[in-house]
Structure 1
Amino acid sequence: MLASAAVAIGGVGLFLIGMLILTDGLKSLIGDSQRRLLAAFTNSPVSGAATGALTTAVIQSSSATTVTAVGFVGAGLLSFPQALGIIFGANIGTTVTGWMVALIGFKLKLGAILLPVLLIAVLVKMFGRARTAQAGWALAGFCLIFIGLDTMQQGMQLFEGAVTPADFPSDTLLGRLQLVAIGAAITLVTQSSSAGVATAMVALGSGAITLPQAMAMVIGMDIATTFTAILATVGGSSAMRQTGAAHVVYNLLTGLMAFCLLTPFAAIAAHFADPAVVGSEQVALVAFHSAFNTLGVLLILPFTHRFARLILWLIPEDGADLARRLDRNLLPDTSAATDALAGTLGECSYRLFDLIEQAMTDPVRHRSESDLAEIGDAIGKAERYAEDIQPRLDPASDPGRFVAAMHALDHLRRLFHRVGRSGRIETIARDPALQQARRDFAAALKTFTDAQDPAAAEEIFDALRKSLREERRRLRDDAARAAAARELSLDDAIGRLDGIRWLHRCAYHVWRIASHMSGAVTTEGPPRIDSPAKDAALEAELD
């Protein structure tokens, strides 16, 4: 009996390893396509739910889909209600694993057939390159899932007759609640609802439990997935904690609805599920799992915005902290972490642009040192967060967005240091020859901060820095002649040149920030990164 238990437990382990490897392989194989798909088709909670279900079904990981959604919220690409749609849809996508196990694992018995395929898959992983190697890794995970399922079945077969439905709580209200608790405990141990559902299917196939008992356990497994979400959000950003709270509240409501539907669904399943037909009851169990998850999504979608307000009331935004998006829980997913970094750089930039615009528009106004200190602190945190992302980047994947974020961070830091030179701003405010340039610069900054459209701002500031470059050359010659003719003091001439140089350099940095911010948050594929030679040529114009 002990040996049989060991075989069954080992089968669960193989199944879990297979799920992890399959997900890892698929994520690497798909690359940034999942991110682009979610961004392209998520225009509302409804479309978010559809794309969330699809991408989760493809990569076999609801957590990866959820983390991507959190990153989008941090980068400002999605609103929280839109991200909720993705999270709801991910719950439906997770049920695909159950269908795969029920329709293929129990009906076709692929475990023994896939053993030689596993060797081929591992060899492809070892000797293949790039995407071929990742395809081999995903295939190895697929094989291990069904080998683990067969191992579980072999272990459970030895329990036939020794463990019966009578050994579990009876099909009463109290008994069903106990079964829900047992299902939750299985998921808490395995940290995978898919593994839990597979275990319930194996137990159902061996006659250890009945279909209604298995259904009650699956409800518990679905609810217990929220525990993983809670653990993942501890100490995280407000967006991550809001996501965890949404998971908990939604899954509890869905679980309650499923518990109420258990009796009618079990009665319907009894007419269609024939225990004598291999896999029949397993299909009914998975159908129940998919049905209550799909119904839950359909019922909550019309109330997504109200649900979002409830979650935001429970977990308010940390609106005062510019670095609130830099969640260490996102670091394992470098794409989502880069989104959070880009979102932070964007907010720091707009706050800094607003301070500069105020100083340009109303030079008499006292500059807030506390605001500048807050921006500087957030930039420092962003630099340290980027240092944490860098070692985790996959060299085989495209690092373009991270590179773009690094360029934006560099120019933001340099612009921040220039703004600290308050003497330059005072000189510009006093010099009548610099008033038009000052007004043009302030107007362009206001347009950028109001619209928050880096792509449009890139064109505006490209034109502005070119015009300021020409103005700088003209003023240099004029100031030199005026100083030589004693029409302008030497100090005023130097101050004028310092002022126009300051405006030109600041416009240049804003232009580069706009350009690289567009690349850091793009969902259209790898961003355009200037060559080192072009970068050097552009930098040369600042001298």
Structure 2
Amino acid sequence: MLWNLLPALGGIGLFLIGMLLMTDGLKALAGARLRDILGRFTSTPFTGAVTGAVTTAAIQSSSATTVAAVGFVASGLLTFPQALGIIFGANIGTTMTGWLVALLGFKLDLGQVMLPVVFVGALLALSGRKAVAGFGLALAGFSLIFIGIEQLKSGLDAFRGVVTPADFPPDTLLGRLKLVLIGVVITMVTQSSSAGVATALAALSAGAVNFPQAAALVIGMDVGTTFTAVLATLGGGTMARRTGFAHVIYNVMTGAMAFFLLGPFTAVFVSGSEAGNSLTALVAFHSFFNAIGVALILPFAKPFARFVEALVPDKGAELTRPLDPLVLGMPEIAVDAAKAAVEQIVRAEVAHLRSCIGASQPSGPDYGRDSIETAVSEARSYLDKIELPSRSDAEISSIKGMYHVLDHLDRLLYRCSQDDRISELPKDRRLKRLASVMIASTDGYLEVDNPLQCESSLNRVRRFLRRQRKLRRDLLISDAATDSLPDEVVWARLDALRWLHRVSYHLWRIRWHMNALEGVPSGRKGGEVTDGMA
């Protein structure tokens, strides 16, 4: 008996490897288009559900779709209810694998035919060209799926007549509950509901289980995918944990609904059907209850999102909340999340600068030096962890720009700690006026309608303060030479002048790099301008 079971286990293994290869290949082919498609076509929970279903069906990876949704919320591109639509839709997209298996894997004997296709796919995967290699992986994985199904069918055929529906829990309420739990365990072990559904289809085809028993197993497998979702969100940020909780709650509710729909569905669609029709009916039931679940939950996406947010409150530093470790596996999404965090840190530091000089705070509360310093360090550490493919020129440029911004933020934060120079500003009428010019340039520093005009304005202020620094330096030195002012006052005001100029320089360069990150063409050509400063 054990020896007869080994081919079936091998078939499941080949199926899983095929799914992994096909998913990796399709994700490589999709590349940044996955992010663009999900972001562009998701404006409401409904459009998110449609986009999530289509995208997941195309790339055969609900985890990739979910991680992308997490990254979009973390970076502020989507709201949580919109992201929930994508996550719900991904559940429908995963049922496409069942249709592929039922319509091709069991109705056509493709195992032998696909063997040379695996060879072709392997050759393409070794080509070294990214697009061709991705296609080769997808092709080889697609072929292995059918080879695995063929092996699984032949393995379970040995049990035909030996293992019958009578060997499983009976088709009663308690029996169905036991089968649901078995389905949950199968998915927890294989970490793939698709492999579980393929196994249920093979068992149904071999006559080992009847339709209600197979359907109960599929319900359990659908619920069991939440275990995978929870594992995937471990170690993630707040958004990742919320996604995991939302997935669990939604799938359990959908599973409960499917459990009560099983009886009517069997009576209407399956009674008296042939074995081949039972296979189609099983995947149809899988798609049916997932589609019904999405249709019922979408009108309540916003209240459901608020419920999940109450269950999983925000934790960690507010400034670095977008830096979700879960999205590090998708570099393009991770770069977007880092941009959102850097923007928040910039806003916080500008507010801190205004607070240090005693100006009002239109840009928000003062987070304090320690919090901002920690946030800068965490953002830099997060950027260090992003691993980019060699050809990701746009992302590499963005990461370089963010490193520049963080460097200027570090130096600006140091300037904010120079209390002796800051305290000198209100003591001199001219210095006070120059300080007001600089502070005025920070009004609406990030909330600007014309970023290029903002950068140009900051650059004009920087050049103006550079001229004033030279002019006032000569006048102050003359005052010291003629004893018009005490030497210590002259040196203190000279330091304050230098402080104003350097701060204006950092503000300009931060805005310059932020504009570059946002794709705004700069009005100035060339690289970093040092103004003679180290």
Give the SS at the match of 1:112.
Answer: coil
Q: Does residue 319 of structure 2 align to residue 322 of structure 1?
A: yes
After TM superposition, list the pairs within 5 Å mapping 1:64-83 onto structure 2. Answer: 64-83=64-83
Contact map agreement 2:441 2:461 (CA 8 A) in 1: no
Aligned to 1:228: 228
RMSD: 2.7
Q: Does residue 252 of structure 2 align to residue 258 of structure 1?
A: no
Contact map agreement 1:458 1:511 (CA 8 A) in 2: no
- In structure 2, C-alpha distance between the alignment counterparts of 1:222 and 1:373, rounded to whole Å: 46
Cα distance change on mapping 1:373 and 1:17 into 2, 3 Å: same
Contact map agreement 1:457 1:511 (CA 8 A) in 2: no
Aligned to 1:54: 54
Contact map agreement 2:102 2:280 (CA 8 A) in 1: yes
Aligned to 1:534: 526
- In structure 1, C-alpha distance between the alignment counterparts of 2:269 and 2:126, rounded to whole Å: 46
Contact map agreement 1:218 1:289 (CA 8 A) in 2: yes
Q: Could you give the per-residue CA deviations for residues 435-484 of structure 1, whole angstroms, max 9, x where no partner exists?
A: 444334334434135x3x6x844531332222331342144125414643
- In structure 2, C-alpha distance between the alignment counterparts of 1:436 and 1:101, rounded to whole Å: 75
Q: Could you give the per-residue CA deviations for residues 182-233 of structure 1, whole angstroms, max 9, x where no partner exists?
A: 1111101100111111111111111111111111111100111111122222
Aligned to 2:289: 292
Q: Does residue 187 of structure 2 align to residue 187 of structure 1?
A: yes
- In structure 2, C-alpha distance between the alignment counterparts of 1:319 and 1:443, rounded to whole Å: 32
Task: Report the residue type matching 1:463 in the other structure.
Answer: S
Bigger shift: residues 67-76 or 496-505: 496-505
Contact map agreement 1:465 1:504 (CA 8 A) in 2: no
Cα distance change on mapping 1:125 and 1:179 into 2, 3 Å: same
Q: Could you give the per-residue CA deviations for residues 230-288 of structure 1, whole angstroms, max 9, x where no partner exists?
A: 2222343221111111111111111111111111111222269432xx4x322211111
Contact map agreement 1:48 1:83 (CA 8 A) in 2: yes
Give the SS at the match of 1:513.
Answer: helix
Identify, as 1 or 2, the structure richer in helix: 1
Aligned to 1:168: 168
Q: Could you give the per-residue CA deviations for residues 106-135 of structure 1, whole angstroms, max 9, x where no partner exists?
A: 233322211111111111111241211121
- In structure 2, C-alpha distance between the alignment counterparts of 1:13 and 1:92, rounded to whole Å: 24
Q: CA deviation at 1:519?
A: 5.7
Give the SS at the match of 2:392.
Answer: coil
Aligned to 1:510: 507
Unmatched segments (≥5 aa) in structure 1: none
Aligned to 1:469: 463
Aligned to 1:405: 402
Q: Does residue 340 of structure 2 align to residue 346 of structure 1?
A: no
Cα distance change on mapping 1:516 and 1:370 into 2, 3 Å: closer
- In structure 2, C-alpha distance between the alignment counterparts of 1:247 and 1:333, rounded to whole Å: 20
- In structure 2, C-alpha distance between the alignment counterparts of 1:302 and 1:395, rounded to whole Å: 43
Aligned to 1:415: 412
Give the SS at the match of 2:207.
Answer: coil
After TM superposition, list the pairs within 5 Å mapping 1:13-412 onto structure 2. Answer: 13-270=13-270, 273-275=273-275, 278=276, 280-318=277-315, 320-362=317-359, 371-389=368-386, 392-398=387-393, 399-400=395-396, 401-412=398-409
Contact map agreement 1:360 1:439 (CA 8 A) in 2: no
Contact map agreement 1:361 1:439 (CA 8 A) in 2: no
Q: CA deviation at 1:95?
A: 1.2
After TM superposition, list the pairs within 5 Å mapping 1:432-451 onto structure 2. Answer: 432-448=429-445, 451=447
- How does the TM-score come out when normalised to structure 2? 0.90
Bigger shift: residues 224-233 or 5-14: 224-233
- In structure 2, C-alpha distance between the alignment counterparts of 1:386 and 1:160, rounded to whole Å: 56
| Count, aligned residues | 523
- In structure 2, C-alpha distance between the alignment counterparts of 1:62 and 1:512, rounded to whole Å: 41
- In structure 2, C-alpha distance between the alignment counterparts of 1:272 and 1:35, rounded to whole Å: 46
- In structure 1, C-alpha distance between the alignment counterparts of 2:290 and 2:235, rounded to whole Å: 29
Q: Could you give the per-residue CA deviations for residues 154-198 of structure 1, whole angstroms, max 9, x where no partner exists?
A: 111111111111111111111110111111111011001111111
Give the SS at the match of 1:127.
Answer: coil
- In structure 1, C-alpha distance between the alignment counterparts of 2:515 and 2:456, rounded to whole Å: 14
Q: CA deviation at 1:43?
A: 1.7
- In structure 2, C-alpha distance between the alignment counterparts of 1:30 and 1:320, rounded to whole Å: 33
Task: Report the residue type matching 1:406 in the other structure.
Answer: Y
Task: Report the residue type matching 1:18 in the other structure.
Answer: G
Cα distance change on mapping 1:273 and 1:510 into 2, 3 Å: farther
- In structure 1, C-alpha distance between the alignment counterparts of 2:200 and 2:323, rounded to whole Å: 39
Q: CA deviation at 1:18?
A: 1.0
Q: CA deviation at 1:64?
A: 1.2
Q: Could you give the per-residue CA deviations for residues 365-408 of structure 1, whole angstroms, max 9, x where no partner exists?
A: xxx9982111111222222222222xx32224343333333333
- How does the TM-score come out when normalised to structure 1? 0.89
Unmatched segments (≥5 aa) in structure 2: none
- In structure 1, C-alpha distance between the alignment counterparts of 2:333 and 2:255, rounded to whole Å: 29
Q: CA deviation at 1:17?
A: 0.8
Aligned to 1:4: 4
Which of 419, 426, 429 is matched with 1:429 structurally? 426
Percent of aligned pairs sharing the same letter: 47
Contact map agreement 2:437 2:461 (CA 8 A) in 1: no
Give the SS at the match of 1:107.
Answer: coil
Cα distance change on mapping 1:84 and 1:507 into 2, 3 Å: farther
Cα distance change on mapping 1:105 and 1:502 into 2, 3 Å: farther
- In structure 1, C-alpha distance between the alignment counterparts of 2:515 and 2:58, rounded to whole Å: 28
Q: CA deviation at 1:77?
A: 1.8
Bigger shift: residues 345-354 or 183-192: 345-354
Contact map agreement 2:12 2:199 (CA 8 A) in 1: yes
Q: CA deviation at 1:493?
A: 5.5
Q: CA deviation at 1:506?
A: 3.0
Q: CA deviation at 1:414?
A: 2.5
- In structure 1, C-alpha distance between the alignment counterparts of 2:330 and 2:359, rounded to whole Å: 44
- In structure 1, C-alpha distance between the alignment counterparts of 2:116 and 2:531, rounded to whole Å: 61
- In structure 1, C-alpha distance between the alignment counterparts of 2:378 and 2:156, rounded to whole Å: 53
